[in-house]
Amino acid sequence: MSFEGLQERLTALQETTTQLKELISRLQNLHFEPGSVPLGADEDNVASELSTEIGQILREEEEELELLQEEVEDVRGGRAGSEAEHTKVRLKDGVQRLKEELKSSRVTFRKAQLAAKRNLAESQRLERKLLLQSFSQPISQTSSPPPGAASDDGHRPPSVRPEVIRQRHAHQQQQQQTSSLTGEDQQTVGAAGNVTAALRRTHDIIAAELARSEFAHQTLTESSAALSKLDDSYGSLEGMLASSKDLLGTLVRSQKSDTWYLQTAMYMLMVTGAWLVYRRLLWGPMWWLVWLPLRLLYNVVMGGARGGSALVRRGGEVSSPGVVFEDGRVEVDGMPGEELPTIDVGGAGPSEGAEAPESLEEKIGRILDDVADGEVDDGTTKVEEQVDQGQGEEQVDQRQRDEL
């Protein structure tokens, strides 16, 4: 805690100590008038209430002083000779002086309690004495006051109430007026006076209780106002907590959406980076090292499969669906015959002296003759070349027919 806060707490404790001294002085100088406190009511009076209040203040102040002393000891003072060190020393001195004042206040409080008890006992003794004097006066009293009345009034302590004095004077006047009455009438008047005095004492007691009730009512009103303010404070605090809860919910939702957007953007960035790395660095090597060899291997395998599908037999004939070999010509089913009129396009036709192209059947027969003569080594290669060449020529012938 800062030095300013500690200094403020020390000042508050000093002010409380000053008020405590005033209360102790008030308790010590408290005087009770006869009749203000009922006889036998030693605990239920102003002195006991004031003593209870002073004792509670003393306990609270001692506890607060102990806490303040511990906090002053724990606070950092800084370097030797610094202002913080001087402030800490001043606080320690103030706490020590306040502690000594509390000790002296407790001793003074004990003395004030004893003085208040003595004053209360004196007041009750004086009240008993006045009551005994009011009931023990003779009935046949003359109009002059008794010899001891002046001495009693002269030696009466200043704490006697004017009401009690008036009661005594009224009682004496009534006795003087009734001196000429008979004995029975005088007894009746004396009893009536006693009843009146008792009623007046009861009235004083009720007035004291009423004042105490008014004080309690005022205290309850102040407490109700404080509780109302506290209720308003708690209501505002509850509204603030509700708004804070809504704000936190909004922040959580916003954080979740932002997190989702960031994660999506990060994944897209990673995919884009991986695609760029693959396209820029791995595409060329993979094309040359993986794709191209696989493609060449596929072409070789498929080419070998197509070449091996040709049926090569000695003395046999090769035919395919829709293809008819007749007189060295290839006839295809679905193609028109020679009766179809044609027009020469793109120049003159083939010269008369040009040799007719060798048909596929003749080529195959020649290949078979070569194989029969023993040309086995180059047979397979030649067969493949001749088959491919025949297929190419057949495709050329087919394209020419399509153009026609």
Last-in-domain residue among 136, 161, 184: 136
* Residue 79 structural domain: 1-136
Let me know if residue 276 belongs to a domain.
no
Let me know if residue 314 belongs to a domain.
no
- pTM (predicted TM-score): 0.34
Let me know if residue 76 belongs to a domain.
yes
Let me know if residue 237 belongs to a domain.
no
Q: How far apart are CA 398 and CA 391, in angstroms?
A: 10
Task: Yes or no: say if 27 and 116 are a contact pair by the CB < 8 Å rule.
Answer: yes
CA-angle at 50, arms to 46 and 52, nearest 5°: 120
From the list 365, 368, 361, 353, the residue with the least C-alpha distance to 390 is 361
DSSP assignment string, 227-276: HHHHHHHHHHHHHHHHHHHHHHHHHHHHHHHHHHHHHHHHHHHHHHHHHH
From the list 171, 159, 163, 160, the residue with the least C-alpha distance to 203 is 163
SS3 state of residue 391:
helix
Helices (H), 75-182: 83-136, 147-155, 162-177
Q: Which helix (H) or strand (E) holds 326?
A: strand 323-326
pLDDT in tens, the chain (404 residues): 577 777 888 888 888 888 888 888 888 887 766 656 555 555 557 777 888 888 888 888 888 888 888 887 877 766 676 777 777 888 888 888 888 888 888 888 888 888 888 888 887 788 777 777 766 654 444 344 444 443 344 334 444 444 555 555 555 555 555 555 566 776 777 778 788 888 888 888 898 888 888 888 888 989 999 998 998 888 888 889 999 999 999 999 999 999 999 999 999 999 999 999 999 998 888 889 988 889 899 888 887 776 555 444 444 444 444 444 444 454 544 455 555 455 454 444 444 444 555 666 677 777 767 765 654 444 445 545 655 565 555 555 555 555 55
Stated length of the chain? 404
From the list 105, 106, 111, the residue with the least C-alpha distance to 30 is 111
Let me know if residue 29 belongs to a domain.
yes
Last-in-domain residue among 136, 163, 178: 136
Let me know if residue 103 belongs to a domain.
yes
Let me know if residue 20 belongs to a domain.
yes
Residue entry with tokens 């197509």: 306
Q: Quote the number of domains for the chain.
A: 2
Last-in-domain residue among 136, 165, 194: 136
Let me know if residue 294 belongs to a domain.
no
Q: How far apart are CA 242 and CA 166, in angstroms?
A: 69
